[in-house]
Amino acid sequence: MTGNNGGTILVVGSVALDEIATPFGRVEEIIGGAGVYFSAAASLFGKVHLVGVVGDDYPLHELEFLEKRGVDLMGLQRASGTSFRWGGVYDYDMNTRETTHTRLGVFADFQPDLPVPSRSAEWVFLGNIDPVLQLHVLDQVIAPKLVACDTMNYWIEGSNEALLEVIGRIDMLTINDEEARQLSGSPNLSRAARWIQERGPRHVVIKKGEHGAILFTDESVFFSPGYPLEEVEDPTGAGDAFAGGLIGRLARAGAADPMELRRAVVYGCALGSFACEAFGPGRLADVSLEEIEARVSAFRHLTYFEEKPEGVT
Amino acid sequence: MTGNNGGTILVVGSVALDEIATPFGRVEEIIGGAGVYFSAAASLFGKVHLVGVVGDDYPLHELEFLEKRGVDLMGLQRASGTSFRWGGVYDYDMNTRETTHTRLGVFADFQPDLPVPSRSAEWVFLGNIDPVLQLHVLDQVIAPKLVACDTMNYWIEGSNEALLEVIGRIDMLTINDEEARQLSGSPNLSRAARWIQERGPRHVVIKKGEHGAILFTDESVFFSPGYPLEEVEDPTGAGDAFAGGLIGRLARAGAADPMELRRAVVYGCALGSFACEAFGPGRLADVSLEEIEARVSAFRHLTYFEEKPEGVT
């Protein structure tokens, strides 16, 4: 714990307006972006500083639910111009989606300058942005306990060198299965994780959407299934809510030892599943800690095959 | 337990010669088929009766490893003509494959007439064959404890009525995720499983390849991950080895209560993972029960997030 910022979380990521179409409906101009989904999940566990940028067209009042949860928006820059906009269409089984548009707007000139209070955050998440900007964030943070980072195919292809520099300076990479294969050049996920670990991060978390997530550490491999939801309304942001649950839980635990890391991955999967229950971050805005604990308990039952754990009848 | 056949297993399925190409190599005229992979796995746990058909070109000596494990080949018919042949090419990530040829040969006229000793088997697995033939098997078996059945898209499309009749008479359907979606018309796996359960089987096991398997029972949902192999040589037959491990373990346990079902799914995933370690059923021929127990133990550690289970350091 470092002074007044013990246990605090910093996230740098997009704050967007999304247009989403799934087999169940269609929404436009809904708040989204990695920074929003991450903050909505992580703020259930601890103090979050959100750093990002919005244009003068952004409905800031829709972020009030984050402020009520104590999210510090001092680092959310207001720039002149249009906000970042993203659009996607999901396939019938929700496992694949097509990006219909990406309009950077004010995000094109984003410089993540951290307000002083956020620099001493102990738990840092670098959302999926240009690795050059991720490096700029790393240059500003002071002695974090753990830095996690996300990325995507766009940066793997276009900014490989800067991305590898980031990877060399972080503790944990969260990445989806296809991206892990692409980054490492290995179709095998275990080998892909090892390839990444050899380049820096002690921990690699591979996100597999509805199939769950795998955590690779020095000591072991941990697998958490995806929660078998009967209604998936909109998977947008589930990966960022996953990261928010994961980092939030670690911040609350105050440690990243092997068993806390495992538990944190389960909390991540729980938050990712809640994110899918409604369009946009709405479900993350109203989910309670009790509901989260109940879902974590359901995960416990989901994989148990020895004897009845407490609470199973 | 019923007389001398207590705990015995019956499998009806293809006995084939496969041609397989993966990024790691290519083999031709290798023994395969659901009946062979299932028997190779299940015979590690109990007495197996294999019912199928081969042509006069089949290298029967290559099935000697099954006989040495006590597999009864009395029901393996020898017909005049060519054996069933299948060919497949795997994609670079081993998750998708293309069937290059299917030549039925003597399988086209296969009639699964059960030798008398196999009719009182307690644990029955109907491999992926014409549902009309699966019904013919069901008419011959005497009071089995549990009947499980596999199928594929070909029968879902072309023999839907007969397949639904089979489904109405079995205890467990093992099916892969895409087939479950196709059969039920629901993209959501939880709903797909419920749709199937409402039509007969108390238990539905959805196979998800490298992502593991989900067991849906009346009481609960259980998830077993796929084992994170670093070397996947050839996934052919993994689903049938999975079924063999599952049914074999149930036969050994002598019961299909909720916790035994969960354990059996893990044994299934363990056997499925061994099947991937070599081309054809070779690894299933030399794997030991000790190796299987060690892998089941690894599965235990793979999903544990409470406290250290015995044996974890």
Looking at residue A95, what is its pLDDT?
80
In terms of CA atoms, which chain B residue is nearest residue A191? B230
Question: Average of pLDDT values for A110-126?
Answer: 97
Question: Average of pLDDT values for A109-138?
Answer: 97
Beta partners for residue B174, in sequence order: B150, B205
Looking at residue B2, what is its pLDDT?
36
Q: How confident is the model at residue B307 (pLDDT cuts 50, 70, 90)?
A: low
% pLDDT > 90, chain B: 91
Structural contact between residues B275 and B283, judged by C-beta atoms closer than 8 angstroms: yes
Q: Is the pLDDT of residue A111 over 50?
A: yes
Window A:69-128, CB contacts with B under 8 Å: 92-94
Angle at B189 between CA B187 and CA B194, to 5 degrees: 110
B contacts of A224 (beta carbons < 8 Å): 303, 305
Cβ distance A92 to B187 less than 8 Å, yes or no, reads: yes
Three-state DSSP class for residue A287: coil
Q: Is the pLDDT of residue A217 over 90?
A: yes
Q: Is the pLDDT of residue B177 over 90?
A: yes
Dist CA B287 CA B40 (whole Å): 10
The lowest-confidence range among A305-309, B24-28, B212-216 is A305-309
Q: Is the pLDDT of residue B261 over 70?
A: yes
Cβ distance A303 to B224 less than 8 Å, yes or no, reads: yes
ipTM score assigned to the predicted complex:
0.89
Strands B48-54, B9-12: pairing is parallel
Looking at residue A297, what is its pLDDT?
94
Backbone torsions φ then ψ of B147, nearest 5 degrees? -115, 125
Question: Average of pLDDT values for B168-195?
Answer: 96
Q: Is the pLDDT of residue B308 over 50?
A: no
Cβ distance A262 to B223 less than 8 Å, yes or no, reads: no
Backbone torsions φ then ψ of A271, nearest 5 degrees? -65, -40
In terms of CA atoms, which chain A residue is nearest residue B211? A211
Q: Is the CB of A310 inside 8 Å of chain B's CB atoms?
A: no
Tell me, what DSSP letter sits at residue B72? Answer: B
Looking at residue A247, what is its pLDDT?
98
> B260-277 burial, b for 16+ CB within 10 Å, e for fewer?
bbbbbbbbbbbbbbbbbb
Residue of B187, B302, B308 lying closest to A223 (CB–CB): B302
In terms of CA atoms, which chain A residue is nearest residue B266? A305
In terms of CA atoms, which chain B residue is nearest residue A182? B93
CA distance to partner chain B, nearest, from residue A134 (Å): 30
B contacts of A307 (beta carbons < 8 Å): 259
Q: Is the pLDDT of residue B167 over 70?
A: yes
Q: Is the pLDDT of residue B174 over 90?
A: yes
Cβ distance A211 to B214 less than 8 Å, yes or no, reads: no
Residue of B181, B214, B300 lying closest to A228 (CB–CB): B214
CA distance to partner chain A, nearest, from residue B219 (Å): 9
Q: Distance between the two ends of chain A, CA-based, in angstroms? A: 40
Taking 3-state DSSP, the helix, strand and coil percentages for chain A, each rounded to the nearest 5, stand at 40, 25, 35
Cβ distance A307 to B259 less than 8 Å, yes or no, reads: yes
Structural contact between residues B15 and B84, judged by C-beta atoms closer than 8 angstroms: yes
Token duo for residue A226: 């995806």
Q: How confident is the model at residue B116 (pLDDT cuts 50, 70, 90)?
A: very high
Question: Average of pLDDT values for A89-116?
Answer: 93
Tell me, what DSSP letter sits at residue A6? Answer: T
- A 10 A CB-CB count for B153 gives 12
- Supply the mean pLDDT for chain A: 94
Looking at residue A24, what is its pLDDT?
84
Tell me, what DSSP letter sits at residue B281? Answer: T
Dist CA A13 CA B234 (whole Å): 41
- A 10 A CB-CB count for A300 gives 18
Looking at residue B309, what is its pLDDT?
46
Instruction: Give the model confidence (pLDDT) of B18-63 as tens digits.
Output: 999 998 899 999 999 999 999 999 999 999 999 999 999 999 999 9
Window B:128-167, CB contacts with A under 8 Å: none
Instruction: Give the model confidence (pLDDT) of B82-105 as tens digits.
Output: 999 999 999 888 888 999 999 999
Cβ distance B303 to A208 less than 8 Å, yes or no, reads: no
Q: How confident is the model at residue A16 (pLDDT cuts 50, 70, 90)?
A: very high
User: Is the pTM for the entire model greater than 0.90?
Assistant: yes
Cβ distance A305 to B222 less than 8 Å, yes or no, reads: yes
Cβ distance A259 to B188 less than 8 Å, yes or no, reads: no
Structural contact between residues A151 and A180, judged by C-beta atoms closer than 8 angstroms: no
Q: Is the CB of B229 inside 8 Å of chain A's CB atoms?
A: yes
CA distance to partner chain B, nearest, from residue A296 (Å): 10
Beta partners for residue A20, in sequence order: A27, A88
Beta partners for residue A17, in sequence order: A31, A85
- DSSP secondary structure letters along B205-269: EEE-GGG-EEEE-SS-EEEEPPP--S-----TTHHHHHHHHHHHHHHHHT---HHHHHHHHHHHH
Looking at residue A312, what is its pLDDT?
43
Angle at B55 between CA B52 and CA B60, to 5 degrees: 75
Q: Is the CB of B311 inside 8 Å of chain A's CB atoms?
A: no
In terms of CA atoms, which chain A residue is nearest residue B232? A188
Q: Is the pLDDT of residue A4 over 60?
A: no
Residue of A93, A181, A232 lying closest to B181 (CB–CB): A93
Question: Average of pLDDT values for A294-302?
Answer: 94
Q: Where are chain B's structural domains?
A: 3-302
B contacts of A231 (beta carbons < 8 Å): 188
Q: Is the pLDDT of residue A70 over 50?
A: yes
A contacts of B210 (beta carbons < 8 Å): 189
- DSSP secondary structure letters along A137-153: HHTT--S-SEEEEE--H
B contacts of A223 (beta carbons < 8 Å): 212, 225, 228, 302-303
Q: Does domain A3-302 have CATH number 3.90.25.10?
A: no
Q: Is the CB of A195 inside 8 Å of chain B's CB atoms?
A: no
Q: How confident is the model at residue A2 (pLDDT cuts 50, 70, 90)?
A: very low
Question: Average of pLDDT values for B210-215?
Answer: 96
Instruction: Give the model confidence (pLDDT) of A124-157 as tens digits.
Output: 999 999 999 999 999 999 999 999 999 999 999 9
Tell me, what DSSP letter sits at residue B75? Answer: T
Strands A16-22, A25-32: pairing is antiparallel
Token duo for residue B229: 């192999």
Structural contact between residues B33 and B234, judged by C-beta atoms closer than 8 angstroms: no
Structural contact between residues B267 and B245, judged by C-beta atoms closer than 8 angstroms: yes
Cβ distance B304 to A212 less than 8 Å, yes or no, reads: no
